[in-house]
Amino acid sequence: MLKNFFDKLIFKPDPIRLYSAGITDVGQRRDHNEDNYLIDEKLGLFIVADGMGGHEAGEVASKLAIETIFNHIKKLDNSYKQNSKRNRRNTTEVINSLLQDAVEDANNQTHCYNIAKGLSEGRGMGTTVTGFLISALKGSGDKKLYSFNVGDSRTYCFSQGKLTQLSTDHSHYQLWVETGKEGPPPKNNIIYKAIGPWRRIVAEQHTIAVKANELFLLCSDGLCDMLSDKEIRHILRNNRKNTLKEMAQALIDAANEAGGKDNITVVLVKP
């Protein structure tokens, strides 16, 4: 049964011995913080959400999205258990479906909030989301990272001195880059995907095997708009002997020194 399959996964008190740290900062230009983040080492779930919609609305959207995704994954969704006999999908397919359902649930709740306010499609509060779930089969040393994102908050992997972006930016600037850079470049902060404003949303998902000594970084665009990938890599390399909390603070400080135009959130995880 699929319930037994889920019970074998390390979602509950079977720790993978994760090490993590998170910091969020209002930045230099804003008077309130619309970012939120989640760290749950027991579940192996880590999320950063960057809200939008102005004072109160943005932080409501980011908090609602994180809580909804967390609650959805924690209960493992009864529909998977009820349909277990007919469901013969492999581990990756099952977890990817679970994560997509969690993102859709978060989007539905936020979108309904906007509709109740009388706002039309594409308007109202919203949030970007980037995160991942790390799991392993009991008795196996193999761990996999299941990443998901909507919008332009990012997930990176730092390994052997190299920084690799795992997420995909859902921005018009990224589309301009991917389609050959024809015409003038659009602003890099205009996104075409977010949780809340639109009725339907599909998360970008990637699955990778977790290797020794890898460090994973989740961040809002308040970090990557202020610092290039090269600068982020340099800071991680220079602080590799420090604690994760000190490393996260070094990233926050550098983004603020570069201008701190937006809220800045950093979550670091080293399985």
**172-212: per-residue pLDDT in tens?**
988 888 888 888 888 877 899 999 998 999 999 999 999 99
Q: What is the pLDDT along the chain (271 residues), one digit of tens a residue?
A: 444 544 444 433 344 456 999 999 999 999 999 999 999 998 899 999 999 986 668 999 999 999 999 999 988 644 444 444 444 457 788 889 999 999 999 999 999 888 888 777 777 899 999 999 998 655 556 789 999 999 999 999 999 999 999 999 998 988 888 888 888 888 877 899 999 998 999 999 999 999 999 999 999 999 999 999 999 999 999 999 999 999 999 999 999 999 999 999 999 999 8
> What is the CATH class of 2-270?
alpha beta
pTM assigned to the model: 0.87
**Half-sphere CA count of 206, side-chain side, radius 13 A:** 16
pLDDT tens, position by position, 45-58: 999 999 998 666 89
What are the structural domain ranges in the chain? 2-270
Backbone angles phi, psi at 49, to 5 degrees: -130, 135
Which strand ranges, in their side-by-side order, compose the sheet holding 45-52?
35-40, 45-52, 126-136, 143-150, 204-209
